[in-house]
């Protein structure tokens, strides 16, 4: 019987690998070392050059399939490609990013492989073969056991550090020929998010506003602070439902789940639905008028005060420390 492998799916989107790919390589490397199995990355789309980078970031071997059919995400075609790689490599673990595409792919691949699937995994125990993930919107942490030989897992973003690039690291790169079969989906177009926006899922720092922001104009202040910190902009459901900021910025039960190192919550009371999306942030800074609200109780650092007064002063202080001119 051929040796089993750890297989990481590296999804190329808009011609580039996402940082999540390099996080998967860290998770995969750790599994590969523990189980003494090779770490193989399957790059869907891209080029031999981008595949080479995956070797430099820890893969023992990289397979890649390219071509026009895999340029934009197509659930069925990408699944066909991943299944071809899985049929060849016979993975014991198959790791995908916990993105829209990753989840969609994982669904199809798990069914076709007859494999168990655990999504948004935040801990992997190679010894027991179990994984941990949150359920009940982060209020409980579940330990999942697999009953299948192949374990399909989507890994939550920001849980594992990105595998560093080691220039010159050796490993095999091979193209896996992909002949697309018929698919019921046709990709028509892509509308990018506004320029300069940092994606919430991969953001190390996030500045978020809630009802206390008071209106769309208040989000200008949130954006200014985010800009000063190099952070992504987020919002609570109350702010999104009020039409102050688009839905894609919403963090919480009905929005995105994030795991930044720093989450600055401004004027957010901390309803359980919002905490569900951000309570695993490394450090939480809460700025609020209400010292007793749930977010202030959760916060690593809390500041009681008026955000409209404090935030400009915080921005000025950051600029001062960086030596940038501060507006009068």
Partner 1 sequence: MALNIVVCVKNTPSTLAVPVDAATGLPKTAGLVFAMNPFDEYAVEEAVRIKEKNPGTTVTALALGPESDHAVLRDAISRGCDAGVLLSGPELQGGDAFAISRALAAAIKKLNGQKPVHLLLFGKNTNDDNSGTVGGQVAAWLDWPGALSVKKIESIDESSAVLWRMMEDGVDKVKVQLPAAVGTVKEINEPRVPSLRGKMAAKKASIPTWTAADLALKPEDAGAAGARVKLARSSAPPPRPAGTRIAGATAAQTAEKLVATLVERKLI
**Contacts with partner 1 in 270-299 (CB under 8 A)?**
272-273, 276, 279-280, 282-285, 291, 297-299
Closer residue to partner 1 (CB): 25 or 285? 285
Q: Which is nearer to partner 1, 173 or 262 (CB)?
A: 262
On whether the CB atoms of residues 62 and 40 are closer than 8 A, the answer is: yes
Q: Which residues from 212-231 bind partner 1, rule CB under 8 A?
A: 229
Residue 165 CB, shortest distance to partner 1, in Å, is: 22
Strand-pairing partners, residue 242, are none
- Closest Cα partner for 207 from 191, 231, 177, 236? 231
Determine, following the binding rule CB under 8 A, whether residue 324 of this chain makes contact with partner 1.
no
Task: Calculate the alpha carbon distances from 277 to 117, 138, 189, 257, 295 in Å.
Answer: 21, 8, 30, 4, 13
Q: How far apart are CA 284 and CA 294, in angstroms?
A: 12
Q: How far apart are CA 127 and CA 32, in angstroms?
A: 12
Which is nearer to partner 1, 33 or 283 (by Cβ)?
283
Site string for partner 1, 154-193 (x = CB under 8 A): -----------------------------xxxxxxxxxxx
Q: Which of 258, 20, 137 is nearest to 235 (CA)?
A: 258
83 is an interface residue for partner 1 by CB under 8 A: no
**According to the binding rule CB under 8 A, does residue 112 interact with partner 1?**
yes
Give min distance, CB of 283 to partner 1, in A.
6
Does position 242 bind partner 1 by CB under 8 A? no
> Residue written as tokens 């919403």?
250
* Residue 175 CB, nearest approach to partner 1 (Å): 26
In what helix (H) or strand (E) does residue 287 lie, and over which residues does it extend? strand 283-288
84 near partner 1, judged by CB under 8 A: no
């Amino acid at each position: 019987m051929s040796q089993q492998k750890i297989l990481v799916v590296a999804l190329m989107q808009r011609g580039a690998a996402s940082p999540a790919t390099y996080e998967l390589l860290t998770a995969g490397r750790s599994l590969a070392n523990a189980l003494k199995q090779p770490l193989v990355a399957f790059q869907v789309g891209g080029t031999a050059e981008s595949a080479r980078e995956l070797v430099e970031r820890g893969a023992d071997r990289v397979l890649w399939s390219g071509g026009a059919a895999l340029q934009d995400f197509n659930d069925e075609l990408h699944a066909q490609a991943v299944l071809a790689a899985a049929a060849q490599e016979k993975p014991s673990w198959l790791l995908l990013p916990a993105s829209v595409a990753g989840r969609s792919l994982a669904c199809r691949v798990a069914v076709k492989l007859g494999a168990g699937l655990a999504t948004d995994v935040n801990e992997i125990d190679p010894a027991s073969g179990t994984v941990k993930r949150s359920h009940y919107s982060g209020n409980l942490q579940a330990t999942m056991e697999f009953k299948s030989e192949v374990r399909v897992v989507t890994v939550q973003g920001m849980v594992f550090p990105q595998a560093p690039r080691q220039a010159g690291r050796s490993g095999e790169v091979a193209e896996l020929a992909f002949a697309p079969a018929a698919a019921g989906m046709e990709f028509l177009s892509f509308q990018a998010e506004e320029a300069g926006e940092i994606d919430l899922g991969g953001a190390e720092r996030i500045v978020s506003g809630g009802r206390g922001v008071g209106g769309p104009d208040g989000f200008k202040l949130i954006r200014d602070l985010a800009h000063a910190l190099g952070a992504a902009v987020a919002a609570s459901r109350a702010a999104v439902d009020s039409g102050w900021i688009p839905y894609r910025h919403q963090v919480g039960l009905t929005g995105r789940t994030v795991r930044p190192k720093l989450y600055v919550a401004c004027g957010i009371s901390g309803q359980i639905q919002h905490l569900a999306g951000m309570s695993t942030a490394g450090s939480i800074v809460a700025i609020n008028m209400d010292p007793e609200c749930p977010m202030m109780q959760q916060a690593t650092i809390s500041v009681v005060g008026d955000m409209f007064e404090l935030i400009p002063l915080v921005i000025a202080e950051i600029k001062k420390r960086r030596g940038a001119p501060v507006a009068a």
